[in-house]
Structure formats: structure tokens, C-alpha cells
Amino acid sequence: MTDTVNRQILLVEKPAGKLGPEHFRLSATAVPEPKDGEALLRVRYISLDAANRAWMHGATYRAAVETNTVMAGGGLAEVVSSKAAELAPGDIVFGDTGWQDYAAVPAKHLTKLPRIEPLTHLLSIYGIAGLTAYFGLLEIGKPKAGDTVVVSAAAGSVGSIVGQIAGIRGCRVIGIAGGKDKCHWLTAELGFDAAVDYKDAALFRQIKAAAPKGIDVYFDNVGGDILEACLPQMNNHGRIACCGAISQYDGAPSPHGPRGVPGLIVVKRLIMQGFIVMDFMDRRDQATADLQTWVSSGKLKVQEDVIDGLENTPRALIGLLAGENRGKRMIRV
């Protein structure tokens, strides 16, 4: 083992409003010893996800994060030593390592991954982001060729893949993103048919102009006003894949939901369905195979936003919540 010090980023206070650097503190401790059944991991890349912020509100699909502990987060790591039969030094794993250099984690909570290059793809296209896009769009959104598919947070890690898969499946694809640059990138580089800048006024009319035949599938990463603008534009029997509610994470959640729920759901016979990617992991191999085919043929472009340095993790998350990133943001530890 090279290091004897384990740098950690602690969550020292849960934010009441917006998340800021003052809510975190860099600390140092000894590199832990793995117990029976655990592996000692050297964290290589830390995944940044809007859901990290949602965990601070309380229990979601996982327990809430607690103050004065290492901030939770998904990490790609290499096994340094192992007291678990199924893992050996050099293995690459994914799991909740937290924001730190080293972690001792029970092997049963880790997913062993193939060592592919670049390793970063295991956090982006072949990781949670890519699989969320794949299963959420195809299993929940159920797009048919010719459908109009709208995706919000379209320049983000999940949205940028959702839109490209929808395009591969023969849909008309409209991305909603923040700012002209991102919108241009979606259409010029990723092959979206249209992009709508939610920072412009007249969001409803912009979407209407881009989706003149109405919306068949709305892949919702954000909730809030954008969901409210899409709902009345859904076609009968349309599907809304509820992946996240980013608009509600960084601050107090809205005391209200979108207008038209449930009235529009009834008259248009819509399906709104929530999902989390863990529910589909028994079919991960098929998804990965499809994604690899599309990536290697050049049909699917992988966009990553890699920032160096564990110490930069807080501001990388704060920036992600403000919409700084294109594609999958991660920290190289």
C-alpha cells in the first residue's frame, strides 16, 4: 500500500437552502483495515449525481446521508487487499465508496466489473448513467419508431444518452437544456432533432414548436415547471418516465406538484412511472451489449466531464446542480 493517510470529505451540515462548500470539510484519517468479508478499495473515480443532493433531504431509495460522516457517493475503485473470497487485489469494482481515497466495503455491496479502457466508461455509458438511460427509456418510456421523445436535463449524463438511444430507435428527439451552447451541442454533435433552452421565456411555446405533433414519451429528469409544461402536450396514451426531480433537490422541495395531475393523466390516459436502475440489474448484460454495439459503431457518443482531485468533489457537485456539466461528471481521485 502506498499511502497511509486516507483523505475524506465529510458532510458537516445538511443544507437548508442551496448546497455550498461550507457544508463539507476535508479531513484525514488512517487507511482502514478490511474486516472479514470486506475488501480494501483504492477509489479511482467518484461519480457525481444530482441524487447525491436528494439524499440530504431524507430517506429516498436509500437511507439519508448523515452529518459528520464521509459523504456518500458511487465510486469506481480497485481492490487493494481482500478478506472476501470473491474479490482479489487488482479487481475493479463499483459501489458506494463515499468521497475518500480508500474505503473498506463489504464485498456483497460491491459490483465487480470488467477492466475496460477507458475506465471512466464504467461510470458513464456502462455505468449507472448509461443503464438508467437505457432501461428508463426502453422499458418505461417504450418509444416506437416515429414517436416524439422529449428529454429534460438533456445535456446531462443520463439525458444525453436517452436522446441518442431514442434517435437510434427512429424517434424524433427534443432535448431541453439550459443555455444556447448546450442546445447547440445537442443538435450539432449528438444528433438531437431539436433543443429547447429552458432559460428562455415561453418554455411551453418553445416545446410546442419543437413537438408540433405532441409528445409521446417524456423522459423527466427534473420535475417542476418543465414537467408542468410537458404534461398538457402529451399525446393520448403517452408515457412519462420519472427518472428524477432535479428541480426539487437543491433547496426546499416545492409545496406543490405540477398542475394537471391527475386530471390530464386521466383524460389523456397517460402513464407516469418512476423507476430506479437497480430494479433492472438482472438484465445488465444485455443492456451493456447493446450500448457497446452502439458506441463502437459511432452511433452513440460518450461525453465525460472529468475533474481532477478529491478536494474538488464538493464544488464539482455544486456545479453539477447548477447545470455546469455536459455529459457524465466525475472526479479522478
CA distance 228 to 260: 8
CB of 144 to its own copies, least distance (A): 18
The residue (of 54 and 125) whose beta carbon lies closer to its own copies is 54
Name the residues that contact its own copies, by CB under 8 A.
Answer: 54, 60-61, 220, 223, 227-228, 240, 242-245, 248, 253-276, 279
User: Can you tell me whether residue 128 is helix, strand or coil?
Assistant: helix
User: Can you tell me whether residue 94 is helix, strand or coil?
Assistant: strand
The residue (of 264 and 306) whose beta carbon lies closer to its own copies is 264
CB of 224 to its own copies, least distance (A): 9
List the one residue out of 275, 330, 300, 327 whose CA is nearest residue 160.
Answer: 327
Cα 210 to Cα 150, 153, 163, 175, 187: the distances in Å are 9, 16, 14, 10, 12
215-220 and 234-242 as β-strands: parallel, antiparallel, unpaired? parallel
The residue (of 59 and 85) whose beta carbon lies closer to its own copies is 59
The residue (of 91 and 220) whose beta carbon lies closer to its own copies is 220
Cα 182 to Cα 69, 132, 306, 323: the distances in Å are 36, 21, 17, 10
CB of 158 to its own copies, least distance (A): 12
Q: Tell me the β-bridge partners of 327.
A: 156
Residues 16-45 as b or e (16 or more Cβ within 10 Å = b):
eeebeeebbeeeeeebeebeebbbbbbbbb
The residue (of 57 and 112) whose beta carbon lies closer to its own copies is 57
List strands edge to edge, sheet with 69-70: 24-30, 5-11, 69-70
The residue (of 185 and 218) whose beta carbon lies closer to its own copies is 218
CB of 251 to its own copies, least distance (A): 13
CB of 4 to its own copies, least distance (A): 39
CB of 257 to its own copies, least distance (A): 3
